[in-house]
Structure 1
Amino acid sequence: MSALPTPSLAARNHDPTRQLAAQALSRAAGAPLIAGNEVELLVDGEQNFEAWRNAICSAQSSILFENYIFRDDELARGLRDAMIVQARKGVQVMVIRDWLGCLGQSSFRFWQPLIDAGGLVRTYNPPRLGSPLGWLSRDHRKLVVVDSSAGFLGGVCVSSRWLGDSQRKIEPWRDTGVSVRGPAVQELVTSFADTWARLGPPLPESIANAGIGAPSAGDIDLRVIATIPNAAGLYRLDLMVAAMAETRLWLTDAYFVGVAPYVQALTAAARDAVDVRLLVPGTSDIPAIGNLSRSGYRPLLEAGVRVFEWNGSMLHAKTAVADGRWARVGSSNLNLASWMGNCELDIAVEDRAFADRMEQQFEMDLENATEIVLGGKRVRRQSQRPAQRASVRRKGSTGRAAAGALRLANTMGAAITNRRVLGPAESYSLGAASLFLAITGLTAIIWPRSLAWPMGALAIWFSIVLFGRYLVARRKSRIHRDSPGLSE
């Protein structure tokens, strides 16, 4: 019997082991299991965009749209214009865009026609003088909720890059999303409402609570995992699933930067005869992250984890499926930036039929992938055209860059302390790090002021910010102490 539970069955069979596992998963994720849902798998950008567009055009009361990237192109303008039509009919349209994700992709002027039609648009975490490093945390979610009855989430951003370019022979990006109907949609609304309230006045109660008490739409049990910075609910869940998997654990990830605890969980599972497979891009839109990912292959391969690289233009999906009964789809990558630094949104589904569909898709994806092996020469089944490679080497997220920085720091630490043997792929990281440190050291010796002055200015900036936070905290403390009814 698989350790991964189907709690509705557990309740019927009174299996204490399953009940304990279900409780552990709920506490690890910080998300309860919600029964009575319908979930449909949406493969690649075309299916996701069509589903979004159809839902938006049929909206009766509200449209909630949250995404990391809105690119000013024909696709995004079409979705925006559809929301403008609905806003003019009285539908409440609310959009959250990420400042960094949209930087260089679209300006706030892109949204002015929607605002003029009555829609509301808010920007997540733009740079502020009072928060010098706050911009490192991003809203990396991809969410559409219509009328509090239909929700869509996954890894797809609002950009025609996901559709490819047939004229330039650029294939579509490979990505995965889902549509959700049933009681779990209310949790999607709540996740949007929490972020919306951080950026200004809260959602109207007529929208925020519209999905409460929604009837069953199917027989699928799932958890909605709305990650916020430093919460790490999905990280704990991913670790637990890796530890509980008994037969197979198949992972697809766009920006894998394995941290030691998770790599250890995967290698332990593989050594325990679990069929662990990892599918990652063969060509990344951030080449440096691709090199850093490869530097982590060796311990996985040595333990028996099978690693595959996608042969298409870009693999952007973030999915997992375990033991044919548990599956995850969402926006979170397998790196610390997603697990602990960003706002992310995923669902974890406990349903055999859906997990079977996910496994079928994974096996189809492997038909267009090349397996990486130790000690052998890596050969692709089909070579990539130059246009494909050029199409993905563009702007990426700071979250992924931060994850790459963590991997680089780990590699440098290992080299300096000699705590483990470095793999050949890590030579790229060490070479770049040594060159950077040499340039920095020479600059400090020859032109010390060029480093001292920026560091001094940064220290003064930080001190002003911290002192301002101190004054605000003291003021709140004084108000709290002087409030009536608080004295002993």
Structure 2
Amino acid sequence: MNLLTNQPGPSVLPYRAALDDLRMERAFSRIADSDLRLGNAITLLRDSKENYPAWIEAIRAAERVVHFENFIIADDETGRRFAEVLMERAQAGVKVRVLYDWLGSSFRALPPFWRRLREAGVEARVFNPPRITDPFWIRRNHRKLITVDGRIGFVSGLCVSDSWTGGKESEPWRDTGISLEGPVVADLDAAFAESWVLAGMKPIPKSELPDADGIAPVGTMAARLISGEPGMLRTYRVDQFIAATAQRNLWLTDAYFVATTSYVQALGEAARDGVDVRLLVPGSSDVPALQPVVRAGYRSLIEAGIRVYEWNGSMLHAKTAVVDGRWARVGSTNLNIASWATNWELDVVVEDSGFAEAMEAMYLEDLANATEIVPGWQSRRRQAKRMRSRRDRRFKRGGVRRIAAGALALSSSIGKAMGSRSLTATEAGSIAIIGFVLLALAALITVFPVLIISPIVIGLVWFGLALLIRAFRLKRRVRLRRRKLQLRRRLHKKKETEATPGG
């Protein structure tokens, strides 16, 4: 310790840095409810042209078991291509399990498609179809996961549909995935096994599920799996933690950004602290009704110092984050309450500087095909004034690094007008659309009040019936348990009587 400056000496600094890393790791593990797996090899895969061939190659090489879980599996050219590969492996004696979501896939692939798979030996199961006993069927399995022989796995934002490959009149969707080899694959299989049971199937034998400790290291990368489940908010906690701890940059890509106020505040606090926070979202969405809502939220982001970009190509469907050249997240979770709180999602956080560098390079390539939303001149002047006052306060606190980072973020965010679009014009169009929609809904409800009353009545009836059925089933279980207990007592008493001399 330097007594004059009250600062730790040089020999203390490495120890303190190691201690800080250990504390960070423990905090991350608690928040994510997931262990960090070392010794993995992870490859970044861009779009369907890199993801689909890697998936098919791995499935074709399967010798024991294939686990295939996806939100959308469509009966189109892409879906049938995967179906052929899965059926061929099943007919070759490989255990092939396919799990598809009812809402995502049922209308894109009709029963004959699934019947053909099952007749070929594929165990295909639908996840969470509508049931009168479950009013919460709106919770969806939004995961995109493949594992083969416990050896290799894939996690991504890609579904199985021609939308991702494009056609004569449409461009392929922009999306991101990864391939994984090493101990983390055991966690992928465990996540699939949980979904399989939730879908009503018998538990997968442990002999078919790999043990992370039994998988030899194949690389140097560290990774952890985040299994999103309804009500658990694991990924939300991780996203908040990353926003709170980012030091240099936080670059986000999201397909359906409708974040909570607290998350937007966390991003804003990071930006105000000098972190380079950027958000890349679609310029045109496959859910057109959502686009005005997303754009209406731009002002709060931009005024907080967050740089917002709209993708100029076809649908941008990726869900990624890269932080400080150290952490990166790839998976299925969108930055909205449906993904965070109500869906089953799956993401991988990779802690590796080389992988983060590749993610940053890919992000900058995407920004080259994007338009930045910038504030008008009055908003820029107010923003510059606020940023100056914040830099002055930081200077008084002696935060030299943060001053430089803040100045860099400010010059980047308000200094570039080329290839940008005014926030005011974007916001005006979005607000006008929302206004017209609200007026149209008001008119419909006035003329046809049954439109709003009927869903409420249906919902109440559904919830009421579901609760009554659940209560009846619970009472029946109690009666059955009582009968079994009485039968055991009688058998026990009978044995005691027979064992008693003279009985």
* Superposition TM-score tier, normalisation by shorter sequence: 0.7 to 0.9
Distance verdict in 2 for CA 1:238–1:481, change over 3 Å: farther
- Matching residue within 129, 146, 149 for 2:148: 146
- 1:301-323 superposed Cα distances (whole Å, 9 cap, x missing partner): 00110000111011111000000
1:28-47 correspondence runs (5 A): 28-47=31-50
Distance verdict in 2 for CA 1:88–1:379, change over 3 Å: farther
Q: Which amino acid aligns with 1:192?
A: F
1:220-299 correspondence runs (5 A): 220-299=221-300
Give 2:109's aligned residue: 106
Give 2:209's aligned residue: 208
- Matching residue within 83, 88, 91 for 1:80: 83
Give 2:325's aligned residue: 324
Distance verdict in 2 for CA 1:440–1:40, change over 3 Å: same
- 1:179-220 superposed Cα distances (whole Å, 9 cap, x missing partner): 000000000000000010112111122212466511111111
Between the aligned partners of 2:463 and 2:99, the Cα distance in structure 1 is 28
- 1:215-266 superposed Cα distances (whole Å, 9 cap, x missing partner): 1111111110111111110000000100000110000011111210100000
Distance verdict in 2 for CA 1:476–1:19, change over 3 Å: farther
Give 1:27's aligned residue: 30
Give 1:53's aligned residue: 56
Q: Which amino acid aligns with 1:147?
A: D
Q: Which amino acid aligns with 2:433?
A: Y
Divergent runs of 4+, >3 A: 10-14, 209-212, 376-383, 423-427, 450-458, 473-485
2:100 matched to 1:97?
A: yes
- Matching residue within 448, 452, 457 for 1:443: 448
- Matching residue within 51, 66, 69 for 1:66: 69
Between the aligned partners of 1:29 and 1:215, the Cα distance in structure 2 is 24
Other structure's SS at 1:135 match:
coil
Give 2:492's aligned residue: none
Q: Answer with 1 or 2: which has the greater Rg.
A: 2
- 1:73-110 superposed Cα distances (whole Å, 9 cap, x missing partner): 12221111111111111100000011110133111321
Deviation at 1:11, TM superposition (A): 11
Other structure's SS at 2:214 match:
coil
Between the aligned partners of 2:338 and 2:358, the Cα distance in structure 1 is 29
Distance verdict in 2 for CA 1:462–1:372, change over 3 Å: same
Other structure's SS at 1:202 match:
coil
CA contact (8 A) 2:132 2:465 kept: no
Between the aligned partners of 1:12 and 1:54, the Cα distance in structure 2 is 46
Give 2:180's aligned residue: 180
Give 2:158's aligned residue: 156
CA contact (8 A) 2:372 2:420 kept: no
Q: Which amino acid aligns with 1:437?
A: A
CA contact (8 A) 2:372 2:419 kept: no
Bigger mean CA deviation after superposition, 458-467 or 326-335:
458-467
Q: Which amino acid aligns with 1:432?
A: V
Give 1:400's aligned residue: none
CA contact (8 A) 1:234 1:339 kept: yes
Unaligned segments of structure 2, at least 5 residues: 1-12, 380-415, 422-426, 487-503
Distance verdict in 2 for CA 1:434–1:217, change over 3 Å: same
Deviation at 1:46, TM superposition (A): 1.2
Between the aligned partners of 2:83 and 2:293, the Cα distance in structure 1 is 37
CA contact (8 A) 2:373 2:420 kept: no
Between the aligned partners of 2:113 and 2:419, the Cα distance in structure 1 is 42
Other structure's SS at 1:315 match:
coil
Q: Which amino acid aligns with 1:25?
A: F
Between the aligned partners of 1:438 and 1:250, the Cα distance in structure 2 is 42
Distance verdict in 2 for CA 1:480–1:324, change over 3 Å: farther
Distance verdict in 2 for CA 1:439–1:344, change over 3 Å: same
- 1:378-433 superposed Cα distances (whole Å, 9 cap, x missing partner): 999599xxxxxxxxxxxxxxxxxxxxxxxxxxxxxxxxxxxxxxx64334324322
Bigger mean CA deviation after superposition, 95-104 or 204-213:
204-213
Distance verdict in 2 for CA 1:28–1:382, change over 3 Å: closer
Unaligned segments of structure 1, at least 5 residues: 1-9, 384-422
Bigger mean CA deviation after superposition, 72-81 or 330-339:
72-81
Deviation at 1:295, TM superposition (A): 0.8
Q: TM-score, normalised by structure 2?
A: 0.80
Distance verdict in 2 for CA 1:36–1:12, change over 3 Å: farther
Between the aligned partners of 1:119 and 1:456, the Cα distance in structure 2 is 41
Between the aligned partners of 1:114 and 1:155, the Cα distance in structure 2 is 24
Give 1:17's aligned residue: 20
CA contact (8 A) 2:374 2:420 kept: no
CA contact (8 A) 1:370 1:380 kept: no
Distance verdict in 2 for CA 1:300–1:477, change over 3 Å: farther
Q: Which amino acid aligns with 1:176?
A: T
Give 1:117's aligned residue: 120
Distance verdict in 2 for CA 1:23–1:160, change over 3 Å: same
Distance verdict in 2 for CA 1:297–1:225, change over 3 Å: same
Other structure's SS at 2:67 match:
strand
Between the aligned partners of 1:455 and 1:177, the Cα distance in structure 2 is 40
Other structure's SS at 2:164 match:
helix
Give 2:365's aligned residue: 364
CA contact (8 A) 1:327 1:355 kept: yes
- Aligned length in residues: 431
1:318-467 correspondence runs (5 A): 318-375=319-376, 424=428, 425-444=430-449, 455-467=456-468
